[in-house]
A and B are shown apart, each in its own frame.
Chain A
């Protein structure tokens, strides 16, 4: 037994090492004064200065954040409505088909989402740029947010709304004073998932972005295609630190909000599709 433990620990350590090696590698060479990703010559912060002074890059970062925050806010509102809509449906069959429709965008590959949205925007006549990117981010964030909110609605005891109605609450009051406060944790995690989806997306944005407007991942792609440039390394180090900050923040938020509920892992596994 003991022997197997040693071996299995080694395997796990190896998996973790491989998972983190590229990230550490990127961060390590962001300090390389040699300018390449293979020979470390000396410590420098030059590439960080380059990143901070690159006004085009700063604008792109702001674009990305604006799109992420705005799209996840809109998506969460629509997703809350969607969860209510799915919850209202009584027949099991209709509910299942509505859910399948909801999940179509989660399981379809990004390339197809991107290509079909590109056709859609061209036909409708929406100019490619801020608006098209925003709309598509809203569109693909909705289903995951719905999936995060729905379980909270289903857990809610129907007697609560009945009681509220009996006590004379209007429909509007039932919604704003009973239902919404109960599903608030779900709405929060839905918003958060939408945020990560939006920040992480590359393929869909790449299709609908057009000329002149760019988000961070599209910019990284076009720079990476031109070869190695250490300012990308510096940028990714900053992004990594920011991500860790977000994860830690989210972790504390959720564990404090509902200790008993299932942790972060479930929806991520559910979502499955990397963006």
Chain B
């Protein structure tokens, strides 16, 4: 093909890849090698392996894990039931609609709902439990995050369930499988791809949340995301912030590779 000279119009796209995809990763790695005074050191990495940061990493993972599991537990049945309704597309649109509203606004709503005089505490009062501190706890953080992420979990599972061949269910029933066995041996294995992409779509952002953490959990929950934000925008220690970012990138890359490998194994 003689299109060598004519492909110059592709330049903007490749320029974008070079400048905004590849360069930032190297810049983050580069910055992680400098301390506050601009000296080239590995101190940041040494720092990262102190209990403070290791504990933070563990907390981040633990919360991201909880958020993913709870989203899955709520979303799977919902997606399953959605495929059985009439007017599926309309219901699906109604699931998507809240995701179009800025997540800050939704988070902000929970400040009121979970507040000391909010409806949840009123309910507690009526039930006789008495007022509780709900805001600024781990629970409220997980709840709000699950709330935010649920649509992103429902959508991939829904499309996986849609592709499921219904005659398989009939076959399973004809062969004497109970409802639970059918689900465990037929439905779930066949929709695992949807579950997997849903978990991906929830876990990675959950690992690096910082605005929900700040607004809902206060200083109770410190995740890798808050640490990065803190270092970059508050303490101006870009070196340490970059180090945390490098670890986050590495962890994510690892997950994606493991995930991709597992997917290939399933599809064969």
Sorting the interface of chain A by its residue count into under 10, 10 to 19, 20 to 34 or 35 or more gives 35 or more
Q: Determine if B21 and A105 form an interchain contact, defined as CB atoms under 8 angstroms apart.
A: yes
**B232 on interface, CB distance cutoff 8 Å:** yes
When C-beta atoms are compared, the residue in chain B nearest to A107 turns out to be: B204
Q: Does B59 contact A (CB under 8 A)?
A: no
Task: Indicate whether A131 reaches chain B with its CB closer than 8 angstroms.
Answer: no
- B78 x A81 contact (CB < 8 A): no
By a beta-carbon cutoff of 8 Å, the part of chain B in contact with chain A is 6-7, 9-10, 12-14, 16-17, 19-25, 27-28, 31, 74, 77-78, 81-82, 84-85, 89, 91-113, 115, 117-119, 122, 147-152, 155-156, 158-159, 197-198, 200-201, 204-205, 207-208, 210-211, 214-215, 225, 228-229, 232-233, 238, 241-242, 245, 248-249, 252, 256
Instruction: Tell me which residues across on chain A come within 8 A of B150, comparing CB atoms.
Output: 15, 19
The answer to whether B100 touches A265, judged by C-beta atoms less than 8 angstroms apart, is no
Nearest to A4 among chain B residues (CB) is B179
List chain B residues, Cβ under 8 A from A26: 105, 108-109, 112
CA A232 – CA B74 in complex, angstroms? 30
A112 and B228 in contact (CB under 8 A), knowing A15-B74, A123-B27, A228-B112? yes
The answer to whether A19 and B95 touch (CB under 8 A), given A84-B10, A115-B245, A236-B108, is yes
The B-contacting residues of A in range 97-151, CB under 8 angstroms, are 101-102, 104-105, 107-120, 123, 139, 142
Determine if B93 and A247 form an interchain contact, defined as CB atoms under 8 angstroms apart: yes
Residues of B within 8 A of A139 (CB): 16, 19-20
A274 adjacent to B205 (CB under 8 Å) = yes
Residue from the list B22, B74, B109, B241 in contact with A25, Cβ < 8 A = B109
Q: Please, which residues of chain A bring their CB within 8 A of the CB of B98?
A: 19-20, 23
The reply to whether A268 and B27 contact each other, CB–CB distance below 8 Å, is no
Q: Which residues in A have their C-beta under 8 angstroms from that of B118? A: 37-38
The CA-CA distance from A108 to B103 in the complex, in Å, is 18
Which residues of the other chain, A, contact B117 by a CB distance below 8 angstroms? 36, 38-39
Q: Are A224 and B108 in contact (CB under 8 A)?
A: yes
Question: Is B84 a contact of A8 with CB atoms below 8 Å?
Answer: yes
A220 and B106 CA atoms in complex are apart in Å by 11
Report how far A11 CA is from B21 CA in the complex, Å. Answer: 42
Knowing A37-B112, A202-B211, the reply to whether A272 touches B156 (Cβ < 8 A) is: yes
Would B152 and A116 count as touching, CB distance under 8 A?
Answer: no
Cα distance A70–B231 when bound, in Å?
Answer: 31
Whether A115 and B242, one on each chain, are in contact in the complex, defined by CB atoms closer than 8 angstroms, is yes
- Are B85 and A12 neighbours in the complex by a CB distance under 8 Å? yes
Is A225 touching B215 in the complex (CB atoms < 8 A)?
A: yes
Interfacial residues, chain A to chain B (CB-CB below 8 A): 8-9, 11-12, 15-16, 18-23, 25-26, 29, 36-39, 77-79, 81-82, 84-85, 88, 101-102, 104-105, 107-120, 123, 139, 142, 171, 196, 199-200, 202-203, 206-207, 216-217, 220-221, 224-225, 227-228, 232, 236, 239-240, 243-244, 246-247, 251, 263-266, 268-269, 272-275
Q: Which residues of chain A are near B81, meaning CB under 8 Å? A: 8-9, 11-12
- Minimum Cβ distance to chain A for residue B136 (Å): 13
Nearest-neighbour CB distance to chain A for B187, whole angstroms, equals 15
Q: Which residues on the A side are within 8 Å of B115 (C-beta)?
A: 37-38, 228
Residues of B with C-beta under 8 A to A77: 12
17 A-B pairs besides A39-B117, A265-B92 with CB distance below 8 A are A19-B150, A21-B113, A25-B109, A29-B112, A38-B119, A81-B10, A81-B12, A81-B13, A85-B10, A88-B7, A109-B205, A110-B208, A111-B245, A119-B31, A236-B101, A239-B101, A244-B97
Residues on A with beta carbons closer than 8 Å to the beta carbon of B211: 202-203, 206, 221
**Complex alpha-carbon distance, A246 and B93, angstroms:** 13
Choose one: A85, A171, A200, A207; the contact of B13 (CB below 8 Å): A85
Measured in the bound complex, the distance between the Cα atoms of B7 and A88 in whole Å is: 10
- Give the nearest-CB partner of B21 in chain A: A104
Instruction: Identify A119's interface contact among B13, B107, B113, B242, CB under 8 A.
Output: B242
Which residues from chain B contact A116 at a C-beta distance below 8 Å?
24-25, 27-28, 245
